[in-house]
Amino acid sequence: MFDKPLAFWLIQSLNSFSLGGLLFLLSAGFSLIFGLMRIANLSHGAYFMLGAYIGLSALRAGFGFVMAMLLAGLAVAILGGLIERFVIRRLSSNPLGQVLATLGISFIIADGCLLYWTGDPQQLATPELLRGVFRVGEAVFPKYRVAVIGIACLFAIGLWLLLEKTRIGAMIRAGVDDMEMARGVGIPVSMLFTAVFCLGSFLAGVGGVLGGPILSVYPGLDTDMLPLALVVVILGGVGSLVGAFVGSFIIGFVYTFGQTLIPDLAYMILFLPMILVLALRPRGLFGRISA
Amino acid sequence: MNRRALAVCAGLLVAMPFVAGEYYINLASQILIAALFALSLNLLVGYGGLTSLGHAAYMGVAAYVSGWLFLKFGFGHLASAPLALLVTTLMAAVFGLIALRASGIGFLMITLALGQVLWGLAFRWVTVTNGDNGLSGLTRPMPFGIDLNGANAFYFFTLIIFAASMVCIVAFANSAFGSVLRGTRDQPRRMLALGHNVWLVRYLTFISAGFWAAVSGLLFVYYHKFIHPQALGLTNSAETLLMVIAGGSGTLIGPIVGAAIVVLLKNYVSAFVERWTMLLGFVFLFIVLFMPDGVVPGVQRLWARLTGKGRAPQRGQP
């Protein structure tokens, strides 16, 4: 199993990083929503898939890749905001009901996508600029995957600045740490909920488009991605951006190498980091609150 | 439920095959299997306050183990059934250790992740599970030499297993342990202060829920003579959770009524359109938004108010 050439390890590492980047976009929003609102948003995988499909249609309609990403992100963000206002808010005294409502919504979105975009797997076109590969010795790196890592890191830095350096970020952190106190000192928590839900949905939608050329988009993408996001968040700790970041790359590596070295059992391997963390530190590596 | 109503129900269930056609008898078998599965989940959701979204894993694994033992080693049902139950129960014992590191929504997330891991395994581990093709060519058991391939015979077989399981589950729920379990659901800290080992109570419940799910999984695979990774999927877990919640979690009749509603709806709708998943989503939203208690407690409350006697039954899960 370990007698592979160096190039193999390099390429698979790159693949792991790019999957990790996609997972970060998916799970950062999930983690923030959970941290602030104490909701496990089970429709997050469906947002990712919906984003990818909208991106697909936007690309086919002749928009550029960046534009497709933004359009998909915005569309999913608006949908997320509406769902937060009109469904989740109505159930504010019933956390379990909220989770089940998001599950119901994920089924509706998934089946709606199947209805509109049919059941065939479809690949999003890689942007012109990022086709081709970099060569380093024996190893061949697709440019697009390198770009995905870069874009994910940019988003990570942007989110970090937003959370740590701005006023609204301070409000969100206050809400995560102590909702009652945050309300007490006059932070508009209700508005924050909607804002964070939109932000999280936006990230998932963008992630879907960004992942499209690598993962392609197909019915079931949502249920493939959701558990990965759950594992990342369990691993990193809910409500923690750093946790989502580190957790994403750990899972990116575990999953990618698992799939190439022992394809039959790749899904089982996902267990291991999760079990270790739950056994040793149930609130996750960087979690401040327990789930 | 009082004895007279129970006797009427039992009479109807036994008389069913003598009046209904084969299609309806098979439908009734499916409802009984789903109801047993929902009852097993209800132990966790309704009595333990632990909402699991990975329960299909136990049903599916029991079915796969039974099918695999038959296809690979030619095991008879007398040997494969206890082995399947044992393996699944052991798996529940391991998963319980992991999932019960959390409660509430953390528990839900972990069970969902574990369930999806097994679903992925069923899809990918082709050498054992035959991947997307599933395991086919399975058989039904022949207890005491009785052929169960007919709709009637299988229905009675299912009914007997269901009734026996139901008796055990009722005894479990009404036992002292059941009361302690409800205590840990409503007031875990108080129960801890009273000296109960809350974790152990939940753990044992988790294992028994896994065991009864495995029993229903065996019935499931006997009925279909086929098992596909879909049986372990999130949709199956969610459907079953919907049965429990729609019927009324924390009641004994609720999950059975819920199972009947969901199975009938699914069969009826699937006959016309292929949009079952979407409808399932809408039913979920409807139940959660407008009927969070479920049908059975709602009707019971209404009945109590109409007759103006008896205290209103306790709400199950908040």
The answer to which of A70-79, A242-251, B42-51, B139-148 has the lowest mean pLDDT is B139-148
| Contact yes or no for A44/A204 (Cβ under 8 A) | yes
Kindly report the average pLDDT of chain B as a whole number.
Answer: 85
> Within a 10 A sphere around the Cβ of A102, how many other Cβ atoms?
25
Looking at chain B, how many residues does it have? 318
Tell whether B283 is within 8 A of chain A (Cβ). yes
List b or e across B101-121, with b for residues whose CB sees 16 or more CB atoms inside 10 angstroms: bbbbbbbbbbbbbbbbbbbbb
Given B114, B117, B284, which is nearest A103 (Cβ)? B284
A33 touches chain B (CB under 8 A): no
pLDDT of residue B42: 92
Joined tokens for residue B261: 């509603």
- Average pLDDT over every residue of B113-118: 87
B296 C-beta neighbours (distance < 10 Å), count: 24
Is the pLDDT confidence value at A202 over 90?
yes
pLDDT higher than 90, residue A70: yes
Contact status, residue A251 vs residue A231, Cβ threshold 8 Å: yes
Selected residue with higher pLDDT from A186 and A71: A71
pLDDT given for residue B309 in this prediction: 59
Q: Which residues of B touch A106 (CB under 8 A)?
A: 281
Overall residue count recorded for chain A in this entry: 291
Smallest Cβ–Cβ distance between B124 and the set A94, A115, A264 belongs to A264
**At residue B193, does pLDDT exceed 60?**
yes
Distances in Å between the Cα of B68 and the Cα atoms of A125, B58, B299 are 42, 15, 44
Quick: pLDDT tens for B172-189. 999 999 999 999 888 888
Tokens of A47: 């947002």
Instruction: State the smallest CA–CA distance between residue B76 and chain A in angstroms.
Output: 28
- Secondary structure of residue B108 in the 3-state scheme: helix
Q: Is B111 on the interface with A (CB under 8 A)?
A: no
A135 bridge partner residues: A140
Distance from CA of A114 to the nearest CA of B (A): 10
- Among the residue ranges A48-62, A164-178, B134-148, B304-318, the one predicted with the least confidence is B304-318
Contact A105, A87 (CB under 8 A): yes
* Least-confidence region, from A88-102, A112-126, A154-168, A259-273: A259-273
CA separation for the pair B145, B164 (Å, rounded): 21
Residue A129 has pLDDT above 90, yes or no: no
Share the mean pLDDT of chain A: 87
Chain A positions in Cβ-Cβ contact with residue B125 (cut-off 8 Å): 264-265
pLDDT at B168: 93
Task: Return residues 187-226 of A near B (CB < 8 Å).
Answer: 223, 226
Residue A125: what pLDDT? 84
Q: Could you tell me if B48 and B188 are in contact, meaning their C-beta atoms sit under 8 angstroms apart?
A: no
Which of B278, B291, B293 to mutate to test binding with chain A, by most A CBs within 10 Å of its CB? B278
With an 8 Å Cβ cutoff, are A234 and B113 in contact? yes
Q: Minimal Cα–Cα distance from A34 to chain B, Å? A: 10
Using DSSP, state whether B100 is helix, strand or coil: coil
Contacts of B64 (CB under 8 A, 6+ apart): B122, B129, B135, B227
Beta bridge partners of A136: A139
Which are the contacts of B107, defined by CB distance < 8 A and separation ≥ 6? B50, B51, B52, B99, B100
pLDDT of amino acid A156: 92
CA distance B257 to B173: 18
Please tell me which of the candidates A90, A227, A282 has its beta carbon nearest to residue B116.
A227
Nearest residue in chain B measured CA to CA from A95:
B105
Task: Provide the pLDDT for residue B316.
Answer: 45
The confidence score (pLDDT) of residue B251 equals: 84
Backbone region of residue B175 per phi and psi (left: phi > 0; alpha: psi in -120 to 50; beta: other values): beta
Give the model's pLDDT for residue A81: 94
Q: What is the pLDDT of residue A190?
A: 85
A96–chain B Cβ distance below 8 A for any pair: yes
Nearest to A91, CA basis, from A75, A79, A103: A103
Q: DSSP alpha helices (H): ranges in B103-187?
A: 104-124, 126-129, 151-174, 176-186
For an interface test with A, give the residue of B117, B265, B290 to mutate (most A CBs within 10 A): B117
**A107, A114 contact by CB (below 8 A):** no
CB B83 within 8 A of CB B65: yes
Closest residue on chain A to B283 (Cα): A104
What pLDDT is stored for residue B63 in this prediction?
93
Tokens of A51: 């984003």
Q: Is the pLDDT of residue A230 over 80?
A: yes
Predicted local distance difference test score (pLDDT) of residue A106: 93
State yes or no: pLDDT of A142 exceeds 90. no
- Are B101 and A279 within 8 A, CB to CB? yes
Q: Using the beta-carbon criterion (under 8 Å), do A291 and B124 form an inter-chain contact?
A: no
Q: Give whole-number Cα distances, A132 to A142, B133, B183, B293, in Å.
A: 6, 37, 63, 57
A244-291: per-residue pLDDT in tens? 999 999 999 998 888 888 877 777 787 788 878 877 777 788 876 655
Tokens representing B141 are 């058991």
Confidence of residue B318 (pLDDT cuts 50, 70, 90): very low
Query: Distance between CA atoms of A263 and B66, rounded to whole angstroms?
Result: 24
- Higher pLDDT: A182 or A263? It is A182
Helix (H, G, I), strand (E, B) or coil at A134: strand
Percent of chain B with pLDDT over 90: 29
Domain ranges (residues) in chain B: 19-138+148-233
Q: What is the rounded CA–CA span in Å between residue B26 and residue B238?
A: 23
ipTM here: 0.83
Q: What is the pLDDT of residues A74-101, one digit of tens each?
A: 999 999 999 999 988 888 878 888 888 9
Q: Give yes or no for a contact between B285 and A88, defined as CB atoms under 8 angstroms apart.
A: no
Distance, first Cα to last Cα, chain A = 37
List of E strands, A55-211: 133-136, 139-142
Q: How confident is the model at residue A1 (pLDDT cuts 50, 70, 90)?
A: low
More confident: B76 or B256:
B256
Q: Give the containing element (helix H, strand E) for B295.
A: helix B295-307
The minimal CB distance from A267 to the residues B121, B282, B283 is found for B121
Q: Which of A38, A104, A111 sits opposite B288 (nearest CB)?
A: A104
A88 neighbors A33 (Cβ within 8 angstroms): no
Return d(Cα B206, Cα A172) in angstroms, integer: 36
Per-residue confidence (pLDDT) for residue A2, from 0 to 100: 63
> Mind listing the domains of chain A with CATH numbers?
6-280 (1.10.3470)
Angle B108-B109-B110 (CA atoms, 0-180°, nearest 5)?
Answer: 95
* Residue whose entry in the numeric block shows the structure tokens 């006023």: A167
